[in-house]
Structure formats: C-alpha cells, structure tokens
Amino acid sequence: MAKRKYSDETKEQIVKECREIGNTALVARRHNISKHTVYSWVKKAKETGSVRSLPKDEKKKMKEIENRLDKMSDKNDKLKKIVAEKELELAILRELRDKVNPR
C-alpha cells in the first residue's frame, strides 16, 4: 500500500474537526484515513501546537518556533483574562447569594 502525502492544511483541518467532534476514529473514517495516522496528527498538534513540520533551515526553524511561541503566548493571555473574568463573576454571584440568603 502506497503512503499518501497530506498537505499541512488538510492535516490542520482534520485535527480541528477532531477537536470539534471529539471522536478521532469517526473523523478518520469520514476522510478515509487510518485512525492511527489521525491520532498521530492530533498528538503532534497537542505537543507542538501545530501539525506543520518545521523547516530544515536553522534560521527559518527558529523563526517558526518564535512565531508559534508568540501565538501560544497570546492564546494563554486571552485564556487567563477569561478565567479572571469568570472568577470575578463567581465572586459577585456568591456575594449576591449571601446578601439574599444570610446565614
């Protein structure tokens, strides 16, 4: 059986679909790809933040790593902000609850 080469865009789309659906085997079956191949793409995306391979040239590789790190830092900052907002909302709701139902 010949190995097929998938584009980075295809891999990213399939990994995104796996995250949305939550069933990697189903997505693999839908695209007629081995579930082991899709599992490896999902694992690589979790570990490195992307299914795209790094360039061979050292300068380009470092530039790509820096770009990925910047993107992950931005995502992390956004998530921290969301968590802080939710914690504030919970604190306000707890305070309101305690005022309405004093113990």
Give the per-residue pLDDT at 88: 97
Can you say whether residue 55 is alpha, beta or left, with left for phi > 0 and alpha for psi between -120 and 50 degrees? beta
- Both tokens assigned to 52: 């795209």
The correct answer on CATH 1.10.10 for the domain covering 1-53 is yes
Q: Model pTM?
A: 0.56
In this prediction, the residues of the chain whose per-residue pLDDT falls under 50 are 1
Collect all residues with Cβ–Cβ distance below 8 Å to 53 and sequence separation of at least 6.
Answer: 8
Q: For 62-80, how does the pLDDT look when each residue is reduced to its tens digit (9 = 90+)?
A: 888 888 889 889 999 999 9
Residue 93's pLDDT is 93
User: Going by C-beta distance under 8 Å and a sequence separation of 6 or more, which residues neighbour residue 38?
Assistant: 14, 15, 18, 24, 25, 27, 28, 31
